[in-house]
Structure 1
Amino acid sequence: MKFSKLVLTTLIFSIFFASCTDDDTKQDIPLGSYDNGLLILNQGLFLNNDASVSYVSSDFSIAQNDIFSVVNPAKTLGDTGQFVGFYNELAYIVLNGSNKIEIVNRYTLKSVGSINSGLKNPRYIAFANGKGYVTNWGDGSVATDDFVAVIDLTTNKVASSIPVIEGPEKILSNSGKLYVAHKGGFSYGNKISVIDVTTNAISTTITVGDVPESLEIKDGTLWVACSGNPSYVKAPLVETAGQIVKVNLSTNKVASTIAYSDATKHVSNLVLNGSDAYYTIDSDIYKMSTSATALPITSAFSTTAQGVYGVYSFAVHGNHIYVGDAGDYTHNGKVYVYALTTPSIGTLEKTLTVGVIPAGFYFND
């Protein structure tokens, strides 16, 4: 009996061990050459048709530029890379200057198609209800032709469009609603449009601060970072300070506003990470608690030691802070990786040379 029990126990353990080993092996199988890492969209020079994508592995041991061209040697990505939206295994790369969206497998960068019609000055993309929604400026000099293009994701064609007010930029999806920030295009906006995805129509408009620049959602609240009117606005407009506006998503009403009193402080690149909020002003990185009732006066650290004139792109991920530096906006840009954890926050950990004008970070993990 004891021998039989021993054999049975050994057999069960062997099956269990083999099963676990198989599962672990499956988890370690990469989905593609560019899995487990960071994609960096490089904008390129306007009208130069040199937008590109760089890749950096999660452990920083691999860094490679222009990976779209490596994988798709017969194709050019396009002009002025604006944004990348992930939808399942696909990445939708918005090319502002080309008026198109290039669709690739997000793990292999292999092109699977493109959207070449129905777009005009496309900016950002979000996904809801099985559709893609792309903000478009239309003709930048015309205030009345802006729209959100609705993409049928089964055919990857623009199926319809939703007229909106001037200068739609960042767009977020949440619980059957789309929230669109209107920076104002060539003007200066202060509105958020709310679109119902069941009707593809605007349900309400929310007035926030001047030039809403970033959108984040946390715990039923929409955070809107408003950079404020810049110093070069023309009368009757005046320069205004940056602020963070919080909108209650159950009512779509402004719940609170915290602002700088100094009109020269312009907030950009808001990121929420756990219980902390991060944003940039010029070359400085600011950190505050998400429960704070005032904006910090002193920055967490500065990037001026790296020669950064102004933070062009920004991300907080894992234990790192990522800063994209466009440099002279003509030659290859830099990405600086800093420590996130206190007390070493702001310690430079890595410097990477990427493509021209690093515009955004997209994490494939």
Structure 2
Amino acid sequence: MKLKLNQLLGAFLLSFILFSCSNSDSEQPRGAYEQGILIMNEGNFGTNDGEVYHLDPATQTLKSNVFEAENLRPFAGLLEDMVPAGENLYLVANTGKVEIVDAGTFKSTGAVSGGLDQPRSLEVVGSKLFISDYGPYNASYATPDSYVAVVDGLNGGVVSKKIEVSNKPEDLFAYGKYIFVAGSEEGKVEIIDADKEEVIKVLEVDGHPAQFFESDGRVWLFSTGNDEVYFQSFHMDNFTKATTNALPVANATGRIAFGNDNIFYVVTSTGWPDYIDGVSRVSVLGPELDLDWMSGSGFYGIGYDKSRDELYVANSNGFQGNGTITVYDKEGAEIRSFETGRGPSGFLFY
């Protein structure tokens, strides 16, 4: 997805970590990895070599394999999402685990390593973790047993409950004690009461839900269709749909970057056999700005550094070796490029 980053990947879906203050109201110093940019490298299927890189954009210093360097063991999974919450950073692997690290040091603080199948993203409500999961494949490679897993404890542990949801849940969004679930395959948003640990409402939405975000004081959902993308907002007082804006963006992949001034960047791909990729530059409120803003091949992830007004486009290079990151200014002029890990797919900007 995500990053919840979400990207979503980001962040996907991409957020800041808030730091607690001392009695003198002075801000606690940030850790080494709570500054700059974290790059999520998904890894290659089969070798499960997902990893996180850290970039200092001021000096262009790139540190590779951060998890392994700080914990003296490989991440050993396919990295799907990175979710900051409090002092922790949750690394969601769709190979059946969640690794939890201290956001500042990247030292392991725990894990969820049992009871999961194909986790996609995560949200924290109170002292509980809620993890969207495709569930196992059946004989037809469908996922009829998708769920949101519940874990009691911010530093992981065992799955205490699985809440049944529609097929292929992706992004999650927490609002008070409620969790919105993006049901990508069936076009649904399910709302979970975190206290009751059950679905209390189901909304039918347009397209295939991919990622939630906030803009202009409203909660939005980004969804994809064959020939359109949808930006849908919600009434949060009664959990109903408020507005739907459809834009003629074809072949959207679900990866989106949130720029300044309500301008978003959507990755598109024709897929096999042509694999013509692009980036559409659109406004959440419409009308569209430039549907063919950028073209190329191998586009796999995207993110926007709002503080520097720079767009980061990740290229998988066909998973033949490491990927490449290219940085552009807001007008689309290339600034620089550099090599990163296998399958770069999302970013977290501090």
- Could you tell me whether the CA contact under 8 Å between 2:165 and 2:183 is conserved in 1? no
1:302 aligned partner, one-letter code: M
Query: 1:208 corresponds to which residue?
Result: 205
Q: Distance in 2 between matches of 1:261 and 1:347?
A: 24
The aligned residue for residue 50 of structure 1 is 49
Change (3 A) 1:203 1:174: same
The equivalent of 2:83 in structure 1 is: 85
1:49 counterpart letter in structure 2: N
Pairing of 1:129-208 with structure 2 (within 5 A): 129-140=126-137, 141-154=141-154, 156-157=156-157, 158-184=159-185, 189-208=186-205
**Cα drift, residue 261 of structure 1:** 5.0
Within 5 Å, which residues of 2 pair with 1:21-100? 29-32=29-32, 34-73=33-72, 75-97=73-95, 99-100=96-97
Shift of 1:347: 1.9
Partner letter of residue 241 of structure 1? E
Question: 2:254 matched to 1:268?
Answer: yes
In 2, the alpha carbon distance for the partners of 1:193 and 1:28 equals 37
Letter aligned with residue 79 of structure 2: G
Partner of 1:242: 229
What are structure 2's unaligned runs of at least 5 residues?
1-23, 269-276
- Matched-pair contact (CA < 8 Å) for 2:257–2:302: no
Does structure 1 conserve the Cα–Cα contact (< 8 Å) formed by 2:43 and 2:78? yes
**Stretch deviating more after TM superposition (120-129 or 133-142):** 133-142
- Give the corresponding residue for 2:288: 295
Deviations 1:83-142 (A, max 9, x none): 111121211111112x11111112222222222112111111111122111001111335
Look up the match of 2:302. Answer: 313
1:131–1:151 Cα contact (<8 Å) kept: yes
Aligned residue number for residue 105 of structure 2: 108
Does structure 2 conserve the Cα–Cα contact (< 8 Å) formed by 1:102 and 1:114?
yes
**Contact 1:214–1:226 (CA<8 Å) still a contact in 2?**
yes
> Which of 330, 344, 348 is the aligned partner of 2:320?
330
Query: Which one has a larger percent helix, Structure 1 or Structure 2?
Result: 1
Does the alignment pair 1:120 with 2:117? yes
Sequence identity percentage: 22
- 1:274 CA drift (Å): 4.9
What displacement does 1:64 show? 1.5
CA distances 1:20-53 after superposition (whole Å, capped 9, x unpaired): xxx9xx8695523x23111111111112121111
Summarize the Cα distance change of 1:181–1:60 in structure 2 as closer, same or farther, 3 Å threshold: farther
Q: Distance in 2 between matches of 1:279 and 1:248?
A: 25
**CA 1:154–1:102 in 2, change beyond 3 Å: closer, same or farther?**
closer
State yes or no: 1:358 paired with 2:347. no
Task: Mark the CA change 1:162 to 1:220 in structure 2 (over 3 Å): closer, same or farther.
Answer: farther
**Shift of the alpha carbon at 1:151?**
1.6
Contact 1:243/1:267, CA 8 A, preserved across alignment = no
One-letter amino acid of the counterpart of residue 78, structure 1: A
Greater Rg over alpha carbons, structure: 1
Q: Which runs of 5+ in 1 are unaligned?
A: 1-22, 230-239
Query: Do 1:258 and 1:295's aligned partners in 2 also have CA atoms closer than 8 Å?
Result: no
The 2-side partners of 1:107 and 1:61 are apart by 19
- What TM-score do you get using the length of structure 1 for normalisation? 0.78
Note if contact 2:215-2:262 (Cα within 8 Å) is conserved in structure 1: no
TM-score when scaled to structure 2? 0.81
- Once the two structures are TM-superposed, the CA of residue 219 in structure 1 deviates from its matched residue by 4.4
Deviation at 1:154, TM superposition (A): 4.8
1:45-71 Cα shifts (integer Å, max 9, x gaps): 112121111110141431121122222
1:282-339 Cα distance to aligned partner (Å, 9 max, x none): 244344444x34334544x3153xxx43343333432221211112123101112222
Q: Distance in 2 between matches of 1:303 and 1:346?
A: 11
> Whose RCO is larger (CA < 8 A, sep 6+)?
2
SS in 1 for 2:90: strand
- Give the whole-Å Cα distance in 1 for the aligned partners of 2:206 and 2:223: 5
Q: Alignment partner of 1:250: what SS?
A: coil
Cα 1:28–1:152 change in 2 (3 A) is: closer
Residue in 1 that maps onto 2:279: 285
